[in-house]
């Protein structure tokens, strides 16, 4: 378990000590960059949007995609707030003394996991699948369960859940376990149970709810 101790020290000293506000801004900028690249090199090249461009109607979609830039900070702040709260409740129920602020910052750092698939999506549609239609673009998520199915024949209520169930989400779960362990400095097994009974359970309930209510 010595490697785990070293990992904790590395996280606390090199990662967790960073300026939280600056890191949040960097995260937003990374998402902005991914949206800009996807919009410029992928969306604008899709045939349906080329037709809109010729008709002079592309401004509507530009407005829609432009709103994504404004929503990024709000979405990330909401996501970190909710996730940190769920984990905080889990820690509290198991008697782990980890503050909400500590968990919020940890969750923010772990968000880097989800920047990777955004970049991979850009790489995929600029280097490999260079002539997609819009549905191909929307349905694709790297290393997700969706990749094992044909989205055209799959019931649409499973599109989001199958994209949400992906390798990066599993990595995120593992990082949350490590994060709770590193911050609490308690048992790794209990940290895994805390994350499993809080965030992972909430995630699975949300996915199940989505499938049930989707029409």
**What is the pTM (predicted TM-score) of this model?**
0.86
Contact 102, 114 (CB under 8 A): no
The pLDDT of residue 54 is: 43
**Residue range 19-40: average pLDDT?**
87
Contact 144, 162 (CB under 8 A): yes
Q: Which residue has the higher pLDDT, 17 or 199?
A: 199
- 148-163 pLDDT, tens per residue? 988 888 888 999 999 9
The pLDDT of residue 3 is: 61
pLDDT at 50 over 50: no
Report angle CA 174, 179, 180 to the nearest 5 degrees: 105
Taking the mean position of all CA atoms in its chain, how far away is CA 96? Answer: 26
Q: What percent of the chain has pLDDT over 90?
A: 47
The pLDDT of residue 67 is: 66
């Amino acid at each position: 378990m010595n490697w785990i101790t070293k990992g904790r020290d590395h996280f606390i000293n090199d990662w967790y000590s960073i300026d939280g506000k600056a890191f949040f801004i960097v995260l937003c900028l990374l998402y902005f960059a991914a949206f800009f690249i996807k919009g410029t090199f992928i969306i604008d090249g899709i045939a349906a949007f080329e037709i809109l461009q010729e008709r002079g109607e592309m401004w509507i979609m530009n407005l829609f995609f432009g709103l994504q830039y404004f929503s990024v900070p709000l979405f990330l702040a909401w996501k970190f707030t909710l996730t940190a709260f769920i984990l905080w409740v889990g820690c509290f129920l198991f008697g782990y003394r980890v503050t909400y602020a500590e968990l919020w910052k940890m969750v923010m750092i772990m968000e880097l996991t989800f920047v990777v698939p955004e970049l991979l999506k850009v790489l995929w549609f600029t280097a490999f699948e260079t002539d997609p239609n819009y549905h191909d673009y929307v349905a694709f998520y790297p290393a997700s369960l969706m990749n094992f199915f044909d989205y055209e024949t799959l019931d649409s209520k499973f599109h989001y859940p199958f994209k949400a169930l992906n390798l990066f989400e599993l990595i995120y779960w593992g990082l949350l376990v490590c994060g709770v362990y590193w911050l609490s400095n308690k048992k790794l097994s209990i940290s895994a149970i805390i994350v499993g009974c809080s965030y992972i359970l909430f995630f699975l309930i949300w996915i199940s709810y989505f499938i049930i209510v989707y029409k």
